[in-house]
């Protein structure tokens, strides 16, 4: 439920089971995050350091149309930060805007989620190639893989921008206003909890998300979004109150850019959903070569600002557009622990 954040805490968290670099995932992901005081005091996962008000809150960033990278920067992930690693991947614009403020929000900027998946456009390709693979094998099999490889060969596999966040929740799959279809589940190494894979069921929407429970803190659900919704939140969703809550905002967002990036929105849908059981959420961001302009009117989520005084700490500088192009390089400096 949404509770107004009273104060934020800031801390480091190790999440090595969450790293997504595919294989060998042995690198550790460090996250820096902010958590609201909604977290029951005493919660081991979130402690300490005082929140520096000079940092922009996640919500604020989003409201300002901030992209992943800028977000990270705003959260104090300075280029010199040794605690936060990040990977900059994907060429897509970051999911900016579309978010309402985060009561119960813990923001994290992290990184290290590297990844393995394909980007939106590529996804269809990969899907196809897989089908090819199948067909070919049936036909006496040859080459299906080849096609795949050829495709990847020349160009590096593009990666979707990812956006991860941790949520204190009793339920694994959080309602976020979109419709998801589960397409896989895998056991996670070193974790008793499986990871579930979901795809947005909307036609042509290639957004995927992974949901897993933190083995370190079973009360925490880690959700990683990949890709960007190219459609608004389906309002007719099984009576989804959250969807209804945000759809108007979405519709009010005139720019295609905004319409195409709903991550944060998902997030907040989670947080505000009356039945979400969410106690706390922490954000993680990664990737992108942000080229998106700040497009989301802050007024869209003004109600959150009202509820959260911290959201007024800062706003995006007018030159944000430029920063977007700069920030990624900053992140790259921190990707030392992985590629």
Out of 37, 152, 303, 309, the only residue in the binding site for DNA (CB under 7 A) is: 152
Stretch binding DNA (CB under 7 A), from 44-52, 195-203, 270-278, 285-293: 195-203
182 binds DNA (CB under 7 A): yes
Q: DSSP letter string over 265-322?
A: HHHHHHHH-TT----EEEEEEE-----PPP---GGGGHHHHHH-GGGGS----TTHHH
Query: Count residues contacting DNA (CB under 7 A)?
Result: 44
Helix (H) or strand (E) segment spanning residue 33: strand 30-36
Out of 37, 43, 158, 185, the only residue in the binding site for DNA (CB under 7 A) is: 185
Nearer to DNA, 144 or 240 (CB): 144
| 153 CB-contact burial (10 Å; exposed 0-12 / middle 13-18 / buried 19+) | exposed
Cβ atoms 178, 198 nearer than 8 A:
no
Nearer to DNA, 22 or 254 (CB): 22
Nearer to DNA, 211 or 250 (CB): 211
Out of 47, 79, 83, 133, the only residue in the binding site for DNA (CB under 7 A) is: 133
Nearer to DNA, 8 or 113 (CB): 113
Cβ atoms 69, 327 nearer than 8 A:
yes
Strands 208-213 and 49-50: unpaired
175 binds DNA (CB under 7 A): no
Stretch binding DNA (CB under 7 A), from 29-37, 109-117, 273-281, 323-331: 109-117
As a whole number of angstroms, the distance between CA 38 and CA 25 comes to 32
As a whole number of angstroms, the distance between CA 25 and CA 165 comes to 19
| 59 CB-contact burial (10 Å; exposed 0-12 / middle 13-18 / buried 19+) | buried
Nearer to DNA, 115 or 308 (CB): 115
Cβ atoms 44, 66 nearer than 8 A:
no
Site for DNA in 301-320 (CB under 7 A): none
Nearer to DNA, 37 or 158 (CB): 158
202-239 core/surface letters (b: 16 or more CB in 10 A; e: else): beebbbbbbbbbbbebebbbbbbbbbbbbbbbbeebee
Out of 6, 186, 312, 336, the only residue in the binding site for DNA (CB under 7 A) is: 186
Nearer to DNA, 247 or 304 (CB): 247
Stretch binding DNA (CB under 7 A), from 53-61, 191-199, 256-264, 272-280: 191-199
213 binds DNA (CB under 7 A): no
Kindly state the smallest distance separating residue 280's Cβ from DNA, in Å.
Answer: 23
Question: What secondary structure letter does DSSP report for 168?
Answer: E
Out of 208, 213, 229, 270, the only residue in the binding site for DNA (CB under 7 A) is: 208
Residue 327 phi, psi dihedral angles, 5° rounding: -50, -45
148 binds DNA (CB under 7 A): yes
131 binds DNA (CB under 7 A): yes
Nearer to DNA, 64 or 95 (CB): 95
Cβ atoms 59, 276 nearer than 8 A:
no
Residue 31 phi, psi dihedral angles, 5° rounding: -130, 150
Kindly state the smallest distance separating residue 275's Cβ from DNA, in Å.
Answer: 16
25 binds DNA (CB under 7 A): yes
Taking residue 131's Cβ as centre, other Cβ atoms within 10 Å add up to 11
Question: Residue numbers of the site for DNA (CB under 7 A)?
Answer: 20, 22-25, 115-118, 123, 126-127, 129-131, 133-134, 137, 144-145, 148-149, 152, 157, 179-189, 195-199, 201, 208, 210, 339
């Amino acid at each position: 439920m949404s509770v107004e954040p009273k104060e934020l805490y800031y801390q480091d968290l190790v999440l090595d089971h969450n790293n997504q670099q595919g294989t060998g995932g042995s690198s550790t992901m460090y996250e820096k995050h902010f958590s609201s005081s909604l977290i029951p005091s005493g919660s081991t996962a979130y402690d300490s350091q005082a929140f520096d008000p000079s940092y922009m809150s996640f919500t604020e960033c989003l409201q300002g149309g901030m992209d992943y990278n800028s977000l990270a920067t705003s959260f104090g992930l300075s280029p010199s930060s040794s605690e936060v690693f990040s990977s900059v991947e994907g060429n897509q614009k970051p999911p900016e805007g579309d978010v309402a403020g985060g009561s119960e929000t813990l923001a994290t900027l992290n990184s290290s989620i590297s990844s393995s998946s394909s980007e939106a456009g590529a996804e269809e390709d990969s899907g196809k190639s897989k089908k090819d693979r199948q067909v070919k094998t049936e036909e006496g099999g040859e080459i299906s893989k080849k096609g795949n490889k050829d495709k990847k060969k020349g160009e590096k596999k593009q990666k979707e921008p990812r956006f991860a966040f941790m949520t204190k929740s009793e339920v694994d799959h959080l309602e976020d206003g979109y419709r998801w279809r589960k397409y896989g589940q895998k056991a996670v190494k070193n974790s008793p909890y499986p990871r579930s894979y979901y795809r947005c069921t909307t036609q042509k929407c290639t957004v995927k998300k992974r949901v897993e429970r933190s083995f370190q803190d079973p009360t925490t659900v880690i959700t990683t979004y990949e890709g960007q919704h190219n459609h608004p939140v389906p309002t007719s969703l099984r009576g989804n109150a959250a969807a209804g809550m945000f759809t108007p905002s979405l519709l009010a967002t005139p720019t295609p850019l905004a319409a195409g990036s709903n991550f944060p929105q998902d997030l907040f849908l989670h947080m505000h959903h009356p039945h979400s059981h969410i106690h706390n959420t922490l954000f993680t961001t990664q990737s992108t070569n942000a080229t998106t302009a700040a497009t989301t009117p802050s007024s869209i989520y003004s109600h959150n600002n009202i509820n959260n005084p911290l959201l007024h700490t800062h706003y995006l500088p007018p030159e944000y557009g430029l920063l977007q192009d700069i920030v990624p390089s900053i992140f790259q400096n921190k990707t030392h622990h992985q590629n």
